[in-house]
Structure 1
Amino acid sequence: MTTTTTTSLPFSQFYDLWFDHLNRLVQQLATTTTTDGPDKDHLLNLINKVMSHYEDLYRAKSVAAEKDPLHVLTCPWATTLERSLHWITGWRPTTAFHLIYTESSLLFESHIIDILRGLHTGDLRDLSPVQFRRVSELQCDTVKEENAITEELSEWQDSANEIMAQCTDINEKIGRLVSIIKKADDLRLRTLRSVVGLLSPQQAIEFLIASAEMLVGIRGWGLNHDRTRRR
């Protein structure tokens, strides 16, 4: 998706296009997992392509938040199911760590015989002790940042009475909301980058597939639910 597309479309339309492209990227990623000995440069190229796609999303959302942060805060482009799971207009950054632990455990259980034989696969079932420690440390840091941003939003919401009583202060209050939304998205993107950075290319591909499939699955369920509710 181009920068022109990012800035010229209403965010809801941009998001629909962005999500369609995410589906196509997932299919490309999945193809690499069925290929024997995929080329490392090819894997790195795909990883960079996916990360650039997420960067496009948050760049466009930042522009939308500057124009109308209250609109962005309500996430009208999302389904009711997605909004029920949201943390400040999107997925909770610490979800990334739950995905790693879940995927690693599932793969470990399904290939435990090979692992006991000492076979190394290089995928998420093959996380090293050093990688687990770094994941755990990153998770702790991310939880602290999540909590700090959550507290900042809570303080902003508590100041609603002040906004009503002091109309002259409203621009400053709205500016704080823009900052909070951007901080939340920045933490999401930094968490993705950090997790991908501590994984091998093959592990990063599997993580990106799992995270994208989670987003696609939740959106699919949400769309079906909303269609059923409207009947």
Structure 2
Amino acid sequence: MAGPSSSDCGGGGNFSGFYETWFEQLQQLVRQLRMCPNPPTSHDHRVAISRLVQGIMSHYADYYQVKSAAAERDVLLMFMAPWASSLERSLHWIAGWRPTTLFHLVYTESSILFESHIVDILKGRKTGDLGDLSPTQFRRVSELQCDTVREENAITDELSEWQDGASDLVGCSTEDVERKVSKLVGILRKADDLRLKTVRQLVELLTPQQAVEFLIAAAELQFGVRGWGQEQDGLRRC
């Protein structure tokens, strides 16, 4: 399924409409993932699963491409995120989710599935799901987590430095302000690049079946936070 294009976004203020369409399409893609045989029972199923996984990855890439273009027009709007609920904004790290959240998700899902299949595992039966991660996969996930933490910290430090110099904007020329804002756009782009890279790297080190479970869990977390946040915002407006 093709995602909404950058032309659909128009000005920065129209990003809310883009996001709603993108989010609805993500829900449709995840519904297709849930319908996949688990585990895949044939070569055709494995091919179909790989295509669906790639489709979701392309959908995420489309989102960050459009977001980057919108940030060029109005980066402050990306940080305000009026399309998000109050709960979602409270969890944001540099106008989006924190990349290391994904590692906690993998460990949690793996632990839950491991416990549910403990009898099979003790009997030497392979489940092939996230509860059946190999020692090599755990090592690679741990190494990727350490690398991601270092990159997160570096970007956080860069944002802190930018914020420390915010007072310098008082009395600055238009050119200086534009240069400062351009730097903020660059920081946001680095954060978004890290978000997308982290998802891609995790998917690459998982089997197709595990990748499906991971992507579904990540989307369900996103759906749950958004749904509960919108509900609470609605109650406060009453």
Give the corresponding residue for 2:28. 24
Larger deviation, residues 206-215 vs 161-170: 161-170
> Structure 1 residues 178 and 47, CA, compared in 2 at 3 Å: closer, same or farther?
same
Mapping for residues 19-168 of structure 1, pairs under 5 Å: 19-34=23-38, 37=41, 39-167=45-173, 168=175
> Structure 1 residues 153 and 33, CA, compared in 2 at 3 Å: closer, same or farther?
farther
Query: Structure 1 CA distance, aligned partners of 2:4 and 2:83?
Result: 20
Residues 4 and 21, structure 2, Cα contact 8 Å, conserved in 1: no
Query: Structure 2 CA distance, aligned partners of 1:3 and 1:25?
Result: 11
* 198, 202, 214: which one aligns with 1:191: 198
Kindly provide the CA deviation profile for residues 163-184 of structure 1, in whole angstroms up to 9, marking residues without a partner as x.
1132341111001000011100
* 6, 16, 20: which one aligns with 1:12: 16
Residues 109 and 130, structure 2, Cα contact 8 Å, conserved in 1: yes
Aligned residue for 1:118, secondary structure, equals: coil
Query: Structure 2 CA distance, aligned partners of 1:134 and 1:34?
Result: 24
Give the corresponding residue for 1:213. 220
Is it true that 1:229 corresponds to 2:233 in the alignment? no
Residues 155 and 187, structure 2, Cα contact 8 Å, conserved in 1: yes
Q: Which amino acid aligns with 1:230?
A: R
The gaps in structure 1 that reach 5 residues or longer are: none
Q: For the aligned residues, what is the CA RMSD?
A: 1.4
Give the corresponding residue for 2:182. 175
Query: Structure 2 CA distance, aligned partners of 1:65 and 1:214?
Result: 25
Structure 1 residue ranges, 4+ long, deviating more than 6 angstroms after superposition = none
In the superposition, the TM-score normalised over structure 2's length comes to: 0.93
In the superposition, the TM-score normalised over structure 1's length comes to: 0.96
How far the C-alpha of 1:35 sits from its partner, in A, is: 6.7
How far the C-alpha of 1:4 sits from its partner, in A, is: 6.5
Aligned length: 231
Kindly provide the CA deviation profile for residues 62-107 of structure 1, in whole angstroms up to 9, marking residues without a partner as x.
0000001111111111100000001111110001100100000000
Query: Structure 2 CA distance, aligned partners of 1:137 and 1:126?
Result: 18
Q: Which amino acid aligns with 1:43?
A: I
Query: Structure 2 CA distance, aligned partners of 1:37 and 1:19?
Result: 30
> Structure 1 residues 106 and 33, CA, compared in 2 at 3 Å: closer, same or farther?
farther
Residues 7 and 63, structure 1, Cα contact 8 Å, conserved in 2: no
How far the C-alpha of 1:7 sits from its partner, in A, is: 2.2
Kindly provide the CA deviation profile for residues 162-220 of structure 1, in whole angstroms up to 9, marking residues without a partner as x.
01132341111001000011100000000000000000000000000000000000000
Identity, % of aligned positions: 57
Give the corresponding residue for 1:202. 209
Aligned residue for 1:32, secondary structure, equals: coil
Higher relative contact order (CA 8 A, sep 6+): 1
Aligned residue for 2:179, secondary structure, equals: helix
Query: Structure 2 CA distance, aligned partners of 1:184 and 1:7?
Result: 23
